[in-house]
Structure 1
Amino acid sequence: MLKRILGKTGNNIQIEPDFWCDYGYQIEVGENFYANHDLVILDTGGVRFGNNIFIAPFCGFHTSGHPIDFERRNQGLEYAYPICVGDNVWFGAGVQVMPGVTIGSNVVIGAGSIVVKDIPSDSVAFGNPCKTIRKITDDDRQSNWSR
């Protein structure tokens, strides 16, 4: 069913219920895509995920937004900018990614983060707003639960 809804998929994908999207056909996922419960992808602007993506529960990817000024917002105007995610990315629980964001490869986004700006490859990022905290290093391969 997912392969019929989504625009492009790898062979190994799994999305736990509940899953919500605007269209579906504007979502591309690579190989080894896993999303835990309660995923929302508002894909009006298109969302592209690379390979080896792990998404924890209650995450959202939102390509649409509305004008800040109430006159245009009350007219029903909105915009949509694409979201692009590289390979080997892990999103902690409750992460929200906003319109127009690009997230590089080999990235960990900490739980509860609101991602409003691009995140470079090979980094750990978290917060509201989400910021790159540090690079992922060889030392990270030597430990399991470091901070």
Structure 2
Amino acid sequence: MLHLILEKLQRKHQLSVLKKNHNTTLGSIKIGINNHFILSEKLERVAIGTAVSFRNYIHIVVEKNAKLTIGDGVFMNNFCSVNCLDSISIGENTLFGENVKLYDHNHLYTAVPEFKVSNSDFSTAPIKIGKNCWLGSNVTVLKGVSIGDNCIIGAGCTIFKDIPSNTKVINQQQLILNSVS
């Protein structure tokens, strides 16, 4: 009984994180347990549509000057992560399997005179995911990628280049979708 009360309080707290930022617009959303939203006070915009569902353990970060748009009817399954330093757009009726990760940035690094990775400086490029897409479990989408409408991205794929509309990606091979069956 106590765990149900704590879960309800945690949901209310996370909804308040979304609602209190003046650059955030929310439609009707449903959130599960142990979700975590980190929103910079100086983000450019967060827009979440209607009938959006976040299952459990979703992690969303939107940093200063960044934009996140989530269309109507989007579903994120357990353990998904959205890390937005630039711009991420997710089209309506898109489904995420468990553990999908979106990163619109990379750590900056130098190779000369010695190899060094910065822990606080990043290169960024927008991510755009079209409408009616399905990203299977353990998909990772990297910065600068556009995924067209009506795409299926198979489980475990790392998407590092653009995917045209009506395409199925399985083990990094692109197949044109004639019909979804």
Q: TM-score range by the shorter chain?
A: 0.7 to 0.9
Corresponding position of 2:92: 51
In 2: Cα distance, 1:67 partner to 1:131 partner: 29
Answer yes or no: is 1:124 the counterpart of 2:168: yes
Q: CA deviation at 1:67?
A: 2.9
Corresponding position of 2:143: 99
Corresponding position of 1:18: 57
In 1: Cα distance, 2:126 partner to 2:169 partner: 20
Letter in 1 for 2:74: F
TM-score normalised per structure 1: 0.83
State whether residues 108 and 118 of structure 2, in contact with CA within 8 Å, keep that contact through their aligned partners in structure 1.
no
Q: Which has the higher contact order (CA 8 A, sep 6+)?
A: 1
Gaps of 5+ in 1: none
TM-score normalised per structure 2: 0.68
May I ask how many residue pairs the two structures share in their alignment? 137
Letter in 1 for 2:132: N
Query: How is 1:1-147 mapped onto 2 (pairs within 5 angstroms)?
Result: 1=15, 4=19, 7-23=46-62, 26-70=67-111, 73-74=117-118, 76-127=120-171, 130-132=172-174, 134-138=175-179, 140=180, 144=181
Letter in 2 for 1:117: K
In 1: Cα distance, 2:61 partner to 2:153 partner: 24
In 2: Cα distance, 1:68 partner to 1:118 partner: 24
Q: CA RMSD in A?
A: 2.1
State whether residues 119 and 131 of structure 1, in contact with CA within 8 Å, keep that contact through their aligned partners in structure 2.
no
SS at match of 1:73: strand
Q: CA deviation at 1:75?
A: 7.2
